[in-house]
Structures are given as structure tokens and as C-alpha cells.
Structure 1
Amino acid sequence: MRSLVLIGHGSHLNGESAVAVYRYAELLRARGLFDEVIEGYWKEEPSLRQVLKTTASTDVTVIPMFISEGYFTETVIPREMGLGHQGPVPQGGIARVIGGRTVRYTLPYGVHPGMREVILARAREVLPDASPQDTALIVLGHGTTRNENSNKVIYQNAEVLRASGHFAEVHALFLDEDPKVGTWPDVVRAPRVVVVPFFASEGWHTLETIPEDMGLSGTVTEFPDNPHGAQQVYYARPVGTHAAVADVIVQLAEEAHGAGDQGDHERGHEAAWQAFMDRARRGLRVGEAVITPELGVFELRHMLDEGLPGGELTTLVTPEGVRDRVRFTDGGEHRPVHTLRNLPRGWRAVLNEADLRRAVHYLYPAVVEETYAHSCHALRHTPWPTTARRQTGIYAKVQRATPAQVEHVAQEICSGCLRTRLWAGERLTHSFLDGVPGGLPCAEACTYVVAEVREEVSGKRGAGSGHSHDH
């Protein structure tokens, strides 16, 4: 078997942040090239610390769904996944044997040479007859003064596309560093200009900032009085949302190097799900949900909806339907931590055995694997001081948090969670596998707690600035 893991940033605040990774996972799953395709996140579940536990195979390829190399791809992801690597990732990636799996970690998809074809595809979409006689191309990056690698991929793509002869001129411009996008009228001479944002997703920058900085009014904007004469600007969609990115991901996975000994992870993972299914076939309560076997299929619903006629509930028939329903509360709030006691009501899912497993993975990511490991006395918990010492960048300040500050945050957040805090010394003697619905282990403080402890140390919690910790 071979597993593909796509790693996104995610968000504690914005439920749309994870959608692009879900979309690519679905595209790749449909191709059937891998035995499974799993999503993991820095700020959502399954977290970087959990995601390897959810893989069924002993051959795992991990691809960062980022547009360029930088802090997350070189520091955060390798650290949190226990890859024993820091700094730039070589061509072909790195390989480690972790917990009986060979884990191959690649460069982010955005730096793959195949992205040049995606830039061209986006340009041709918005201007099919672009020509080297009268058309300029602007490859537009975000840019940052904090990491020189952020602009490297933009310059490299612009250089190769310039040499290809497809356009009269090719320019690399940026939002947050020189040369800035607002200077384009002075720089670009061609009468027709195609702008392709080298961004991972559609968002505030592509919808608001770039059009404002460039003076764009839509997909095509006329500029009759520019310094080099009349110009038309054709504004393309960001490269990261193009379906061809799936081809780039496949190429990255195929180019991933390295091999290692394969251990018994596959058997352990399957044993966890077999234990789960043995309970499910007899009826099972897990977290806030109840699973009922019915004539060869399984019904999954909120425990508080038990007994309601099926006609009063929205019926879901795919794991993805469950995923999309449980990502938000009944009030429409994003649920970055799925074990918080705010599972939405009003739905039922009718699923076969294979789909039930995937639906439960979406419902409570990594819970089956971690609970089974706990029942086998094989789940290692990480005390808060160890988690704090591991943090870097803007989160390094959590190392200054007092035990009282950590407990204050944990009491507010963790009191609303179904999990038992093993990392804080709490004990869990029985789990849902033993018939105790709320028996879920928590081996380590989640990124939501870490982010809120940072706000506590900064004196910002409750000050209306909670958005800062998702930047």
C-alpha cells in the first residue's frame, strides 16, 4: 500500500482555509493512483502531530501544499511531524523511517517545474491568443522580507518563461516587496498584459489587494493613458486553484526518493479499525455521535438526535458529506477542533463499512488510532513543557507562560472538549472502545491551545485581537 498525505496550513478562524486541500485530495483520490489520500493541517485536524497515525500503509509520501519554500515547509512541518530535518529540503525530498513507516517528505508543490505549465494555462484561459508580438506576462508573487525563498520561485518561473519566447516580455512583481505590482505601468511596455497571481488559493489578496493595487475593474481592464500608451490588462485566476496542480502533486510524489525498513505500523493501524468496527457492528457511541448497524449498512447521527424519524433529518450518503456538515457548528462557526462539544445536529449518514471508516475519520480525526493505542498502553503523551519548548517563531513566547496561565487557557478551551488531558496528568481508564462514549485521550496540547496560550502571554486574550494568531 501507498499513502499520500497533503499538508495545508488550515485556520482556527476561517473554515474556508482547508477547502483547497480537500479539493485536491478528492481529485487525486478519484484517480486511484494511491491507496489512500489524507489531508493534514497545522491549524486544524488531523494535526501535523496526528496525521501519520491516520495512514493505513507503511509507505507514506507527504507533500506540503504551499506555493513556495519557507518557514512552514522548512521548520514547522518537519518539526511537528518528527522528521528530524530542519532547513531547505533537497530535490527529491527526504526520507525517514518513523514508527514502522517510510515517510517521504517533498518540496512544496509550488516550486516544482511543472508549475510553469500551470502559469501558461492560466494565461491562455484569460487571453487565448496571447502572442510574443504584443503580449506581456506578469508573474505576481506575494513576496516577503522575512524569507528570501518566498521570491525565488517567482524569479525562476519568470526567467524560464521569458526564455521560452511565448511573450514579448515577462516580469516578476510582488505585493510586499520591490519591484511592487503598483509599478507595472512604468515597467511594462506591451499593449496587452496578462497578470497571473502565483498564489495558492483565491482570497483577500487575489480578490481585493491586487485589483486595488493595479487599478483593475474586472477580468479585462482598459488603460488608455499609461506612460507607454494604451494597454489592456487581463487578470487570470491564481495558479493554485488550477486542476493541473493535481498533476504536479503526482509528479512530486513519483520523484520522492528514499527507502527504509517497513515495520508493523500497517498491522497496528488495521487492528485499531478492526476493534472499532467490531464495536460498530454491535452499535457504538463515540463522542457526541451514535452508530447503529442496519441491514448491512451503518447509520451515523448526533447522539441527541437518536430516536428522531429519518425524514426529519438531512440524509448524507458520502464521507465527504459528513465532513462538510461537521466542519461548522449549528450556528455556522468553524470547528478547527472536532472533539469540542459542538457537533451540529439535524443530519444522519447511511454508509457502508468502508465509507463509515472514512466518515469517522472526518468526524473525529485520529481518535480511533489514538484511543486504540491508549488501550494498548502504546500512546505516548507529551507534557506541556515539552510542547512549549518545541515552539518557534511567533509561538516561541509560549515558553514564558506560567503553569497558571496555561491552566487558565486550558480550563476555558479544554472544558468544552470531549478528550481527557493526558498531557496535563489526567487519567483515562476506559474509552469508547470499552463502551464509555466520552472516553477519548488527548496526548498533547493542540495547536488551538498553543495559539491561545500565546495570546494569554501577550495579554491579548479577550481584547478583540484573536485574529492575530492565524497570521
Structure 2
Amino acid sequence: MRSLVLIGHGSHLNGESAGAVYRYAELLRERGLYDEVVEGYWKEEPSLRQVLKTTRSTDVTVIPMFISEGYFTETVIPRELGLGHQGPVPPEGIARVLGGRTVRYTLPYGVHPSMNEVILARAREVLPDLSAADTALIVLGHGTTRNENSNRVIYRNAELLRNSGQFAEVHALFLDEDPKVGTWPEVVQAPRVVVVPFFASEGWHTLETIPEDMGLTGTVTCFPENPHGPQTVYYAKPVGTHPAVADVVLHLAEEARGAQGRGGDEDRAHAETWNAFLNLAREGMRLGEALITPHAGMFELRHALDEGRPADDLTTVVTPEGLRDLTRRDEGGHHRPVHTFRNLPRGWRAVLSEADLPRGVHNLYPTVVEEGYAHHRHTLRPTPWPTTARRQTGIYAKVQRATPEQVEAVARDVCSGCLKTRLWAGEKLGRTFFAGVPGAIPCPEACTYFIAEVREEVSGKRGQAAQGHED
């Protein structure tokens, strides 16, 4: 038995940020090479601190769905997963035994040699007749001053494509470090220019920042008076959204440290948890704001306030992914980065088989079943706020300076709208939904949304409109 975990950045602000990781997880599930494929996120749920709790197998391979090595892949993800590793990851990855699971952690998919072919595929999509006679290629990276390794993959791919002789010239340019993308008219001489963003997903940078910095008006933009004469720019989609990335992920997983002897057992604690939950579901139950009703060997999920409404009045889905997509936004269309906020939209129903119910419930309320059952069995260990704060690095290290008054001020605004009980703040929860109390859901550790709000509180910026990229 094998589990594959895809780790994405996610966003508290933009619901589309996780889209690429969702799509790859679905593609990989369809191939059936792993018993399960699950996702975890830095800025969404399940969080990096939670995701290993959700895996069924004792054999877990974790792939960072990032485009390059850097701060997240070398510091944040290993720290939050509890791998006991910091710094560059060796080519074969690292392996640890955590809580009875063998966890293999690999390099990010973007550094795999086969990504060179993905860049070329993106270039040919936007300009099928590119040629070495008149076409330049810009491999465009983010760049950062935080980690000197982050630009290495951009330069390496640019060099390989330059040596292939398929372009008149190949340049590596960046958003946040030199040479910057805004200098392209002075740097590039060829009359036709293909720009391939080496980014993991379509988002703010690829849709807004890059076009603005380059003066682009669409997929094809003509510049009649550039320093080197008239030029036409062909703007490709980011490499990270190409379907071939699924093959790259599988290559990484099979090349992971110790992969040759791979294959684990079903995790006993996980199996016990979900067997207990299914026994409740077979009788019908409330979980948070959701109502679960058994019927003819299937299960119907809907908002509890929609109880009694005719099915014809509701939007019906029949897959766990359909349920996820219906409930990722509130009724106002706003992104729900914390699934247990009391803003679950109404007007839907999901009809799932018993085999699909666990993934459907996971999509609705990630890790709530695992943590709820652990608390029900008195085995859940809360992480106090000071411990969480001390673990933060980078721009979040400043939360360590938050006063108790500031933490509580944020909790009044954020946590008061959540179904969970703050065990991490010393609140008591005598019974859970496993004992028949629908909204009794434990919160063992402050979520990343709360941490981000505390950071804004300490900075004196909380409540201001959020703009730009999230770190």
C-alpha cells in the first residue's frame, strides 16, 4: 500500500492558487499507481502540519509542487512536516520514520531534468513554427534574495535550451532579481520572442505582474519600435500547469530514496478512525454545518439548514471533487481557506458511495475526522500558541513578538467564526461529534490563517486590503 502526497503553496486570498495541485492529484488518481493521492498546503487545508494524519498507508512519498529549490522546499515544508531536516535536499531525497510511517521527501518537481521538455512544449504551443533563425526564448523565473538556490533551475534550463540550438538566443530573466524581466527590450535581439513563465500555477504574477512589466496586451503583442527593431512577443502558459508535469511527479516518486523496497501497510490508527466514522454515518449524523444521511447504500451530504428541501431545488454532485468545488467558496463567492468557518454555502447536495465518502468528508472538512477521533480517544496533543509562534521563520517570525492581548484580539475576529474549539489556547472540549455533538470539533494548533492575521496585527496592518503575493 502506498500514499502519494502533493504539497502546494495555496492561498488565503485566491481560491485558484491550489487549482494546479488539485488537477495533478486527480490525474494521478486516475492512473491508479498509488492507493491514494492527497494534497497538503502551506496556506490552505489540510495544512502541512496536518496532512500526514490523513494518509492511509505507512508508506508515504511527499512531492513539493514547487518550481525550484528555495525557502519553502528547504525550510518551511520540512519543518512543518516534522522531518528534522533543514537546507538543501539531496538528489535522491530524504527518508524518515514518523509515527510508524516511512516518509520520503523529494526535490521539487521543477528541478527534474525532464522539465526542459515541458518548457519546449509550452513554447511550441504558443508559437508552433519557432525557429533558430529568428526566435528568442525567455525562461522567466520569480527569483528571490531569500535563497540563492532558487534561480539555479532557471539558469540550468536556459543553458540546456541554448545548447540545443533550437532558438536564436535564450535568456534567463526574473521578476525579483537581476536580470529583471523589464530589461528584455534591451537584452533580446530576435524579431520573435517566446516567453515561458517557469511558475507552478496560473496566478497573480502570470496574469498581472509579468504582462505589466513586459508591456504585454495578450498572448501575442507587437512592439514596432524596440531598440533592436520591431519585435513580437508570444506569451506562453506557465510550465507548472502542463499535463506532462504529472509524469515528472511520478518520475520523482519512483526515484525517491528507498523507493525500490516500497510498499507499506494500512495505518491501523487511520483505519480505526474511519471505521468509527462510517459506523456513525450509516446511522445518519450531523458534522459541523453538514448533514450526512444514508440512503440505499449511498450517502447524501447537504447543509443542515437545507434539511427537508427537495433535491430538485439543490445542485447535485456525485464525486468528492464536485463536493470540494461547491464548498470552496461561500455564498458571496469568496474563497474559504478555513473549511470550518461558519460560512458553508447552502443549496447543494452530494450523493456519494461508501468508498467515496471518506474523501468527500475530507474535502468538506479536512482532518476534522482524524483530529476529532483522536480527541475522542484522549490521544490528541494540542500545541500551545507560544510553541507555534517560536517555530515561525522568515516574515512570520515577528508573531513571536505578539502580546497575549494581540493574540486574543485576533482570536475574537477569526476564531469566533470557526466551528472549532481552541485547545491550543487552553479551551476545554469535553465531547466531540463522535459523541453526538455536531459542532464539537477540536483545534489542536493555531492555523496558518490565524498566524497570518497575528502577523498583520503585530505589523499594524490588520484590516487593510490585502494585495500582491502571499509568502
TM-score with structure 2 setting the length: 0.95
User: Structure 2: any 5+ residue segments left out of the alignment?
Assistant: none
Q: How does 1:5-20 map to 2 (within 5 A)?
A: 5-20=5-20
Q: How does 1:3-402 map to 2 (within 5 A)?
A: 3-258=3-258, 266-402=267-403
**Mean Cα deviation higher: 400-409 or 72-81:** 400-409
Matched residue, 2:431: 430
Contact 1:61/1:104 (<8 A) preserved: yes
Matched residue, 1:456: 457
Contact 1:224/1:231 (<8 A) preserved: yes
**Mean Cα deviation higher: 59-68 or 200-209:** 200-209
* Code of the aligned partner of 2:120: L
SS at match of 1:243: coil
Shift in Å, 1:465: 4.3
Contact 1:100/1:263 (<8 A) preserved: no
Change (3 A) 1:405 1:261: farther
* Code of the aligned partner of 2:32: G
SS at match of 1:95: strand
- 1:165-187 C-alpha deviation (Å, 9 max, x unpaired): 22222111122222222322332
Matched residue, 2:409: 408
* Code of the aligned partner of 1:234: Y
Contact 1:316/1:350 (<8 A) preserved: yes
Shift in Å, 1:432: 0.9
Matches of 1:459 and 1:176, distance apart in 2: 25
Shift in Å, 1:191: 2.8
Contact 1:101/1:262 (<8 A) preserved: no
Matches of 2:369 and 2:75, distance apart in 1: 28
- 1:325-357 C-alpha deviation (Å, 9 max, x unpaired): 111111112111111111111111111101111
SS at match of 1:52: helix
User: Structure 1: any 5+ residue segments left out of the alignment?
Assistant: none
Matches of 2:107 and 2:252, distance apart in 1: 8
SS at match of 1:470: coil
Contact 2:2/2:264 (<8 A) preserved: no
SS at match of 2:375: helix
* Code of the aligned partner of 2:443: C
Q: State the identity as a percent.
A: 79
Matches of 1:185 and 1:196, distance apart in 2: 16
Shift in Å, 1:59: 0.8
Contact 1:455/1:469 (<8 A) preserved: no
Change (3 A) 1:71 1:224: same
Matches of 1:262 and 1:101, distance apart in 2: 11
Change (3 A) 1:58 1:132: same
Matches of 1:280 and 1:264, distance apart in 2: 25
SS at match of 1:7: strand
- 1:390-411 C-alpha deviation (Å, 9 max, x unpaired): 1111111111112222122112
SS at match of 1:63: strand
Change (3 A) 1:415 1:222: closer
- 1:118-162 C-alpha deviation (Å, 9 max, x unpaired): 001011111222222332211111222332222111101011111
Change (3 A) 1:138 1:468: closer
Contact 1:451/1:469 (<8 A) preserved: no
Matches of 1:131 and 1:214, distance apart in 2: 22
Contact 2:71/2:146 (<8 A) preserved: no
SS at match of 2:356: helix
- 1:171-213 C-alpha deviation (Å, 9 max, x unpaired): 1112222222232233223332221111112223222332333
